C-alpha cells in the first residue's frame, strides 16, 4: 500500500499582519516536535516571513546554538508573465511542482499565504485540508469574514474572502475530497478581559454557524511570540520556561495545535 498523501494546512486571510506567519511557525514546530515530517511553502515572496524565520533558525544552529527540529521549506514567487492566462498557468505549475516534491514524503505541507488576494493564495485555499484564519481582536478584522450587526451579531453579508473559501469548498467536494476544516482563531488578544474582546468573541460564535468554520481559542498578545524571530526559535523550542507568561504562552500554543485535530 502506498504512503498517505501529506495533509495540507493553509494559513490564510486577505488582511495583512493578523499573525499568519507567526502562527505558521508555531504550528510547524509543534508538528515537528510531535515527530511529524513537515514542509513549508511560503507564498509571500515579498516578505518571506516564514522563510526568513527558518533561515534564522538554520543560522542559529550553524552558530553553535542547540540543535532544533527543521522542516523542509521553499518560497514560490508569483509569475510575472505579461498575460494573465500565462501567469495563472505558471502559478499552477509552480504549486504542482512544489507539492510533487513534498506530497509523498511529508506528513504535512504548510502554506503561508500573503495578506492579500493573489492567484497563488487562491490555489492554496483550493488545496487546503485545513484552513487556519487568524484574526486580530477587532470588528475591523471581522469584516474579513462578513458584515456582522454590532447589536445582535446577526450576519448581514458574507465577505469576498468567505465567498472565496466557499468556492474552494465546492471545488473540493466536486473533486470527491473530504470537506475542508476551516478554523478561525484570534491572535494578539488583549490580556484584559475587555468589552471589545467579549463582543468579538460573541460575534465569532454567531458567525461560525452561518459561515461554517470552527472557532477555537487563540493566542494572547505576548512579546515572546515576536522576540524569538531573530534566532528562528519559538516558545516550543525553549528548554526552560521560567516565567508564568511563558508557561501560559506554551500552553496556549499547544491548545491551539490540539484544536486543529491534526495529530
Ligand atoms: N500573538 C502575538 N503577540 C505579539 N505579537 C504578535 C502576535 N502574533 C503576531 N505578532 C506580531 O504581529 C506582526 C504581524 O504578524 P505576522 O507577520 O505573523 O502576520 P501576517 O498575517 O503573516 O502578516 P502579512 O499578512 O503581512 O503576511 C509581527 O510583528 C508579529 O511579530
Ligand atoms: Mg505573513
Domain hosting 156: range is 7-259
Establish whether residue 219 lines the binding site of ligand 1, counting it when its CB lies within 6 angstroms of any ligand atom. Answer: yes
For residue 113, which atom of ligand 1 is closest to its CA?
Answer: 27
Structure confidence at residue 26 as a pLDDT band (50, 70, 90): very high
CATH code at position 216: 3.40.50.300
Question: 188 CA distance to ligand 2 centroid (A)?
Answer: 14
The predicted-structure confidence for 167-176, as pLDDT tens digits, reads as follows 999 999 998 9
Question: 40 CA distance to ligand 2 centroid (A)?
Answer: 13
Which pLDDT value is given to residue 239?
Answer: 87
Establish whether residue 141 lines the binding site of ligand 1, counting it when its CB lies within 6 angstroms of any ligand atom. Answer: no
Establish whether residue 49 lines the binding site of ligand 1, counting it when its CB lies within 6 angstroms of any ligand atom. Answer: yes
Residue 178 CA to residue 198 CA, distance in Å, equals 33
The predicted-structure confidence for 124-157, as pLDDT tens digits, reads as follows 999 999 999 999 988 888 889 988 887 888 888 8
Nearest CA-CA partner of 233 in 56, 48, 18 = 56
Establish whether residue 60 lines the binding site of ligand 1, counting it when its CB lies within 6 angstroms of any ligand atom. Answer: no
Angle made by CA atoms 261, 196, 207, in degrees to the nearest 5:
45
Count other C-beta atoms under 10 Å from residue 193's C-beta: 9
| Residue 2 resides in a domain | no
12 or 148, greater pLDDT: 12
| Residue 44 resides in a domain | yes
Strand partners, 130: 9, 181
| Residue 1 resides in a domain | no
Q: Are 24 and 109 in contact (CB under 8 A)?
A: no
Strands (E), 167-257: 181-187, 214-216
Residue 15 CA to residue 42 CA, distance in Å, equals 16
Which pLDDT value is given to residue 187?
Answer: 92
Question: 22 CA distance to ligand 1 centroid (A)?
Answer: 6
Taken in order 69, 72, 78, 84, the sign of the CA dihedral is negative
Q: Is the pLDDT of residue 222 over 60?
A: yes
Which pLDDT value is given to residue 194?
Answer: 79
Whole-number Cα distances in Å, 42 to 12, 52, 64, 71, 260: 11, 10, 26, 12, 20
| Residue 76 resides in a domain | yes
Q: Are 79 and 3 in contact (CB under 8 A)?
A: no
For residue 15, which atom of ligand 1 is closest to its CA?
Answer: 25
Q: Are 217 and 146 in contact (CB under 8 A)?
A: no
The predicted-structure confidence for 72-96, as pLDDT tens digits, reads as follows 999 999 999 999 999 999 999 999 9
Strand partners, 111: 10, 41
Residue 139 CA to residue 148 CA, distance in Å, equals 9
DSSP string, 126-155: HH-SEEEEEEESSHHHHTTTEEE-TTT--E
Question: 5 CA distance to ligand 2 centroid (A)?
Answer: 26
Which pLDDT value is given to residue 238?
Answer: 94
CB-based neighbours (< 5 A) of ligand 2, an ion: 20-21, 49
Residue 58 CA to residue 73 CA, distance in Å, equals 12
Establish whether residue 136 lines the binding site of ligand 1, counting it when its CB lies within 6 angstroms of any ligand atom. Answer: no
Which pLDDT value is given to residue 112?
Answer: 98
Residue 125 CA to residue 133 CA, distance in Å, equals 11
> For the ranges 38-47, 202-211, 252-261, which has the lowest average pLDDT?
202-211
Q: Is the pLDDT of residue 2 over 60?
A: no
Q: From atom 23 of ligand 1, which residue's Cα is the shortest distance away?
A: 17
Pairing outcome for strands 108-112 and 7-11:
parallel
| Residue 134 resides in a domain | yes
**Tally of domains in the chain:** 1
The ligand that comes nearest to the alpha carbon of residue 185 is 1
Count other C-beta atoms under 10 Å from residue 202's C-beta: 13
Structure confidence at residue 192 as a pLDDT band (50, 70, 90): low
Question: 156 CA distance to ligand 1 centroid (A)?
Answer: 29
| Residue 235 resides in a domain | yes
The ligand that comes nearest to the alpha carbon of residue 42 is 2
Which of 10, 22, 225, 246 should be mutated for ligand 1, with most atoms under 8 A from CB? 22
Amino acid at each position: 500500500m502506498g504512503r498517505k498523501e501529506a495533509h495540507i494546512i493553509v494559513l490564510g486571510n486577505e488582511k495583512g499582519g493578523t499573525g499568519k506567519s507567526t502562527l505558521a511557525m508555531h504550528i510547524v514546530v509543534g508538528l515537528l516536535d510531535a515527530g511529524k515530517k513537515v514542509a513549508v511553502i511560503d507564498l509571500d515572496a515579498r516578505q518571506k516571513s516564514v522563510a526568513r524565520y527558518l533561515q534564522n533558525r538554520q543560522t542559529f544552529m550553524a552558530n553553535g546554538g542547540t540543535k532544533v527540529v527543521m522542516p523542509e521549506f521553499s518560497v514560490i514567487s508569483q509569475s510575472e508573465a505579461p498575460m494573465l492566462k500565462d501567469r495563472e498557468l505558471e502559478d499552477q505549475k509552480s504549486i504542482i511542482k512544489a507539492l510533487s516534491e513534498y506530497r509523498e514524503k511529508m506528513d504535512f505541507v504548510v502554506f503561508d499565504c500573503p495578506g492579500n488576494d493573489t492567484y497563488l493564495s487562491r490555489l492554496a485555499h483550493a488545496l487546503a485540508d485545513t484552513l487556519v484564519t487568524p484574526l486580530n481582536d477587532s470588528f475591523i478584522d471581522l469584516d474579513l469574514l462578513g458584515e456582522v450587526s454590532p447589536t445582535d451579531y446577526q450576519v448581514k453579508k458574507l465577505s469576498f474572502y468567505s465567498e472565496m473559501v466557499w468556492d474552494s469548498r465546492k471545488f473540493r467536494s466536486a473533486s470527491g475530497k473530504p470537506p475542508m476544516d476551516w478554523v478561525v482563531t484570534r491572535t494578539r488578544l488583549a490580556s484584559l478581559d475587555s468589552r471589545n474582546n467579549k463582543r468579538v468573541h460573541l460575534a465569532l460564535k454567531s458567525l461560525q454557524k452561518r459561515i461554517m468554520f470552527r472557532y477555537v481559542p487563540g493566542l494572547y498578545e505576548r512579546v515572546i511570540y515576536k522576540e524569538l524571530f531573530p534566532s528562528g526559535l519559538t516558545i516550543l523550542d525553549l528548554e526552560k520556561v521560567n516565567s508564568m507568561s511563558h508557561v501560559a504562552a506554551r500552553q496556549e500554543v499547544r491548545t491551539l495545535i490540539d484544536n486543529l485535530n491534526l495529530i
